[in-house]
C-alpha cells in the first residue's frame, strides 16, 4: 500500500448504515471517497455507545482492557461511588499519543473523551463532555482565545429533547457549521499530519427527528415538515466534508466513520421497576411518581440485583463479600445470574411479542484485566430497539414518553466506515469491519508505522 503523508478522520457520531445502503448515491463527496476506497458497515464496541466506542477506535482495545463500560462507571463495590469517564480514564495508548511519540503533528476536535484536553504534539479542542465555555478546553491553552475571537464560543452540544423542532434543527446546523468552519481554519493555519474530528450533530438530529422519517416508527408521522430533516442534513454534511477536502491531494488518507449506528426506538423498558416486580430489587420505602434510583432508599440487605439505564441496560448483582452490603452467596452467583439472564431474555414487549433481548455476560464479550469490573449483565433489550430506564415508580414496565422529553432513536451495533487510502482502494465493499480494526491499527499502517502487538485489531485490508 502507498504510504499516507497525512490522515484525516471525520467521525460522524451515530451515522447509520442506511448511509451506505441507501443514501450514498445522493452524497457525491462520500460516494467518491467510497468509490476510490473501501467501505462497509463497522461493528461497534459492546456496548454500542459513544463511550467506550470512540475509545475502542482510538486504542484498538475492548472495554475489558480499557476499564470503562459507558459514560459512568463504578469506582468500587459501594453503591454510589461513580465516576464519569473522561480523558484521564484513557490509560491505554491512544492513536494521538502514539503518533505524537512518533513525531507526527496531531490535531483533535470534538473527539469524545478528550476533556481535559490531552497534551499532544499539536492541538486539541475537547469534546461535549467539557463542563462549559469557561473550562480550559484546548491544548495549547492559548488556542481557546483564538477560537473564541474568530468563531465565538465553541458550541459543544445541543439539547435535543424538545418539541421546538425548528429551533433545534437550526441549532444543530449552527453547531455543525461552526465545527466545520473551525476545522477548515485549523487545517489551513496549523501544521498537521493527523487530524480527527467527531461531529455529534448526526446523533442529536436522529434522536429528535427519526419518527418523521422512518415509516416503521411507532410514532411515524407521514408528510410532516420534518420528513426529510435527516437525509437533508446528511446532504449538508456531505457538502461540508467536500469543502474540508477541497484542495487536498490523494496523498491524504481519509476515513469517515461512525461509532455506532442508529435505528427507530420502540420504547423504554423500565428495568428497575421490573427487577422490583420480580423480587430482585427491594426499596426501603415506597416511591410516589417516577424517581431516580439514586434518590430512593434501597433496602440492600434484601436486594439481589439492580440496574442502570441508557441505550442499553446494566445489571449488577449484590454479591456477598464483594458489594458493601452484598447478600448473594458467591456459590450461587452463576446460577442466579443465569436465571436472571434467562428471565430478561424472555421479557415480551408491550404487545406481548417476543423481544430479541440479549443479556451478555462480561466473560463472553470482554477480555482483559477489567472484565471482572464490568456489570454482571449487559442487556440489549430487543437488540437495542428498546432503551432501558433505571428510574422507578413508573406506571407499568413500558414507557413511550419520558419526563425528559422526546427521543425517537436508539443505537445500532453497526455504524459506517469509509476509507480512502492514498492511491485508492478500488471501491470495494467490505464486510466484517470492526472499530477495533478501522481505527488505531489502520491509521498506524497508513503512516507506515508499526502496529503494537497488544492492539486487538488488525489494519483494514485494502
Residues that bind another protein (CB under 8 A): 49-50, 70-72, 84, 86-88, 97, 100-101, 103, 115-116, 119-122, 129, 131-132, 139-140, 142, 157, 159-161, 204, 207, 308-311, 387, 390, 404-405, 407
Task: Indicate the residue among 39 and 311 with the shorter CB distance to another protein.
Answer: 311
Distance CA 210, CA 220 (A): 8
Query: Residue 427, class by beta-carbon neighbours within 10 Å (0-12 exposed, 13-18 middle, 19+ buried)?
Result: middle
Task: Indicate the residue among 88 and 174 with the shorter CB distance to another protein.
Answer: 88
Number of residues that make up the chain: 462
Please state the closest distance from residue 370 (CB atom) to another protein, in A. Answer: 18
Cis bond upstream, residue 225 (ω within 30): no
Task: Indicate the residue among 21 and 142 with the shorter CB distance to another protein.
Answer: 142
Distance CA 16, CA 107 (A): 26
**Cell numbers linked to 438:** 478501522
Backbone angles phi, psi at 399, to 5 degrees: -130, 145
Please state the closest distance from residue 204 (CB atom) to another protein, in A. Answer: 8
Please state the closest distance from residue 71 (CB atom) to another protein, in A. Answer: 5
Nearest to 113 by CA among 61, 177, 144, 70: 70
Distance CA 263, CA 224 (A): 19
Task: Indicate the residue among 22 and 454 with the shorter CB distance to another protein.
Answer: 454
Task: Indicate the residue among 98 and 341 with the shorter CB distance to another protein.
Answer: 98
Please state the closest distance from residue 192 (CB atom) to another protein, in A. Answer: 12
Distance CA 462, CA 253 (A): 12
Backbone angles phi, psi at 11, to 5 degrees: -95, 130
DSSP category for residue 55: H
Task: Indicate the residue among 37 and 309 with the shorter CB distance to another protein.
Answer: 309
**Cell numbers linked to 30:** 462520500
Yes or no: say if 157 and 200 are a contact pair by the CB < 8 Å rule: yes
Task: Indicate the residue among 120 and 283 with the shorter CB distance to another protein.
Answer: 120
Please state the closest distance from residue 36 (CB atom) to another protein, in A. Answer: 33
Distance CA 14, CA 222 (A): 24
Please state the closest distance from residue 452 (CB atom) to another protein, in A. Answer: 14
Please state the closest distance from residue 222 (CB atom) to another protein, in A. Answer: 25
Task: Indicate the residue among 267 and 425 with the shorter CB distance to another protein.
Answer: 267
Please state the closest distance from residue 168 (CB atom) to another protein, in A. Answer: 13
Backbone angles phi, psi at 183, to 5 degrees: -60, -45
Give the three-class secondary structure for 253: strand
Q: Which residues contact 431 (CB under 8 A, 6 or more apart)?
A: 40, 41
Please state the closest distance from residue 132 (CB atom) to another protein, in A. Answer: 8
Yes or no: say if 62 and 56 are a contact pair by the CB < 8 Å rule: yes
Task: Indicate the residue among 162 and 174 with the shorter CB distance to another protein.
Answer: 162
Q: CB neighbours (10 Å) of residue 103?
A: 8
Amino acid at each position: 500500500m502507498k504510504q499516507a503523508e497525512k490522515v484525516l478522520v471525520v467521525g460522524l457520531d451515530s451515522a447509520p448504515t442506511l448511509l451506505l445502503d441507501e443514501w450514498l448515491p445522493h452524497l457525491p463527496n462520500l460516494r467518491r471517497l467510497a468509490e476510490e476506497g473501501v467501505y462497509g458497515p463497522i461493528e461497534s464496541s459492546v456496548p454500542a455507545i459513544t463511550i467506550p466506542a470512540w475509545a475502542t477506535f482510538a486504542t484498538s482495545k475492548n472495554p475489558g482492557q480499557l476499564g470503562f463500560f459507558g459514560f459512568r462507571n463504578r469506582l468500587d463495590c459501594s453503591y454510589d461511588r461513580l465516576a464519569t469517564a473522561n480523558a484521564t480514564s484513557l490509560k491505554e495508548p491512544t492513536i494521538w499519543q502514539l503518533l505524537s511519540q512518533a513525531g507526527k503533528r496531531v490535531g483533535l476536535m470534538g473527539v469524545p473523551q478528550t476533556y481535559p484536553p490531552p497534551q499532544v504534539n499539536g492541538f486539541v479542542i475537547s469534546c461535549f463532555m467539557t463542563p462549559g465555555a469557561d473550562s480550559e478546553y484546548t491544548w495549547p491553552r492559548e488556542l481557546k482565545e483564538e477560537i473564541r475571537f474568530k468563531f465565538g464560543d465553541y458550541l459543544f452540544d445541543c439539547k435535543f429533547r424538545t418539541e421546538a423542532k425548528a429551533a433545534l434543527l437550526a441549532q444543530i446546523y449552527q453547531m455543525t457549521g461552526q465545527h466545520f468552519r473551525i476545522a477548515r481554519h485549523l487545517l489551513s493555519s496549523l501544521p498537521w499530519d493527523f487530524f480527527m474530528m467527531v461531529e455529534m450533530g448526526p446523533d442529536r438530529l436522529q434522536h429528535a427527528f427519526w419518527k418523521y422519517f422512518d415509516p416503521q416508527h411507532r410514532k411515524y408521522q407521514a408528510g410532516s415538515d420534518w420528513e426529510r430533516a435527516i437525509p437533508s442534513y446528511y446532504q449538508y454534511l456531505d457538502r461540508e466534508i467536500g469543502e474540508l477536502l477541497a484542495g487536498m491531494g490523494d496523498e491524504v488518507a481519509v476515513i469517515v466513520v461512525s461509532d455506532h449506528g442508529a435505528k427507530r426506538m420502540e420504547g423504554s423498558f423500565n428495568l428497575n421497576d421490573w427487577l422490583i416486580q420480580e423480587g430482585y430489587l427491594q426499596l426501603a420505602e415506597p416511591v410516589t411518581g417516577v424517581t431516580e434510583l439514586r434518590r430512593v432508599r434501597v433496602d440492600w440487605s434484601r436486594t439481589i440485583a439492580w440496574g442502570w439505564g441508557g441505550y442499553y441496560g446494566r445489571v449488577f448483582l449484590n454479591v456477598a463479600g464483594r458489594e458493601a452490603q452484598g447478600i448473594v452467596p458467591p456459590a450461587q452467583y452463576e446460577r442466579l445470574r443465569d436465571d436472571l439472564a434467562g428471565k430478561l431474555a424472555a421479557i415480551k414487549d408491550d404487545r406481548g411479542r417476543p423481544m430479541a433481548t440479549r443479556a451478555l455476560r462480561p466473560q463472553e464479550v470482554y477480555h482483559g484485566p477489567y472484565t471482572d469490573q464490568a456489570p454482571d449483565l449487559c442487556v440489549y433489550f430487543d437488540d437495542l430497539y428498546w432503551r432501558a430506564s433505571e428510574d422507578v415508580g413508573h406506571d407499568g414496565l413500558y414507557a413511550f414518553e419520558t419526563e425528559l422529553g422526546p427521543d425517537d432513536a436508539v443505537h445500532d451495533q453497526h455504524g459506517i466506515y469509509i476509507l480512502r487510502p492514498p492511491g485508492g482502494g478500488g471501491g470495494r465493499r467490505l464486510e466484517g469491519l470492526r472499530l477495533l480494526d478501522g481505527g488505531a491499527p489502520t491509521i498506524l499502517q497508513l503512516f507506515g508505522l508499526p502496529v503494537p502487538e497488544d492492539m486487538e485489531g488488525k489494519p483494514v485490508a485494502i
